Amino acid sequence: MSAAIGNNPPAGSRGRENGAARRRSLLRRLAGQIGPVAGLVVLVVAVLCSLFAPVLTHYDPLKLNVLDRLSAPSRTHLLGTDDFGRDVYSLVLYGGRASLLVGGLVMILTSVIGVLFGVVAGFSRVLDNLLMRIMDGLMAFPAIVLAIALMAALGPRLSNVIVALSIVYAPRTARLIRSTVVVIRELQYVEAAQALGAESVRIVWRHILPNTLAPLLVQATFMFAYAVLAEAALSFLGVGAPPYIPTWGNIISTGRLYIQDAPWIIWFPGLAIILVGLGLNLLGDGLRDLLDPRFRGASGAS
């Protein structure tokens, strides 16, 4: 062990790489610029696969075929069939539609809500306290538990999953945006704009919003990943999308009953979730490194 530590660069050069290198270390060192690119490719492939599902498979994912039930992966059924004889390959492709739709819409909604609340809180000292206490309160619930509670009230529908997850995750984005805005608000060029008599709306639109874009982009990527995972968990628990809509979580939920005889039912939707999650994490980490200077200025104040 001690020999390896002896190979470290001398303390002086280590001091310089302190902040930035530590932050960007994980993935940049992991794969140079390959990481975020690979992440983006995985994500695009996943989206294309679910969009072009009808071209990529000639099975109807909802077509029942009792004679073929629980058959192992073969040439006719690439990834096998489930307990209703539905083709798992087609289910995973079509399931991606619901899962990615939820992820994408939750990403957009949390960004919009987060920016709205974050900018208002960061800019208005009157509303700041009130809004942030509400955000703190919402974040005092474990994410999945609040999502379950909201689904219990709203009822099991795909649209409600999107609403529930947006309520759960928007406070995180709002908090981040607020901390960014609070820093920018105090910068000299904002003061200069105020001195020139610019209206608040103009200052927010021209000077503050553009500077929130970098941290927002990184955050949005992670929100997409969280939402895909959370949607899968809710569906798996039976409180998310209704069972007749194929989503990755729903496929796993039915497959768990046949884990002994037909493990392929849970393998592939699980791998799809992992690939998309991994892709988004690689992309998010890569973006954060790329946008580091401005991002660091913002997060340092939070």
Partner 1 sequence: MASFLLRRAVSLLPVLLVVMTVDFLIIHLIPGDPASVMAGPNATASDIAQLRSRLNLDLPLHVQFVRWAGRAVRGDLGESLFLGRSVNRAIWERAEPTLLLTIYSLLVAVVFGMPLGVLAAVRPNTGMDRGFMLLAVLGVAIPTFWLGLIFIYAFAVNLRWLPAAGYASLSEGFIANLRYLTLPALSLGLNQSALVARMTRSFMLEVLREDYIRTARSKGLAENLVVLRHAMRNVLVPTVTVVGLIFAVLLGGAVTTEIVFNIPGAGRLLIDSVLRRDYPVIQGAVLYIAVAFVVINLIVDMLYVVIDPRIKYA
Q: How far is the CB of 237 from partner 1 (least distance, A)?
A: 5
Whole-angstrom Cα distance, residue 284 to residue 191?
Answer: 32
DSSP conformation class of 203: I
How far, in Å, are 12, 33, 221 from residue 290 at the CA level? 25, 10, 14
Smaller CB separation from partner 1, 14 or 63? 14
Per-residue binding string, partner 1, 218-237, x by CB under 8 A, is: -------x---x--xx--xx
113 belongs to the binding site for partner 1 (CB under 8 A): no
The candidate with the shortest Cα–Cα distance to 216, out of 177, 252, 183, is: 177
Residue choice 60, 136, 191, 199 for contact with partner 1 (CB under 8 A) = 136
Residue choice 46, 177, 252, 298 for contact with partner 1 (CB under 8 A) = 252
Token pair in block for residue 141: 């619930």
Cα dihedral angle (199, 204, 205, 206), rounded to 10 degrees?
80
Smaller CB separation from partner 1, 194 or 281? 281
165 belongs to the binding site for partner 1 (CB under 8 A): no
Binding to partner 1 (CB under 8 A) within 30-89 occurs at 30
Residue choice 40, 51, 134, 217 for contact with partner 1 (CB under 8 A) = 134
**60 Ramachandran zone, left/alpha/beta (phi>0; psi -120 to 50):** beta
Q: How many CB atoms lie within 10 A of CB 187?
A: 14
Binding interface with partner 1 (CB under 8 A): 1-2, 4-6, 8, 11, 14-15, 18, 22, 25-27, 29-30, 133-134, 136-138, 140-146, 148-155, 225, 229, 232-233, 236-239, 252, 255-256, 259-260, 263, 266, 270, 273-274, 277-278, 281-282, 285
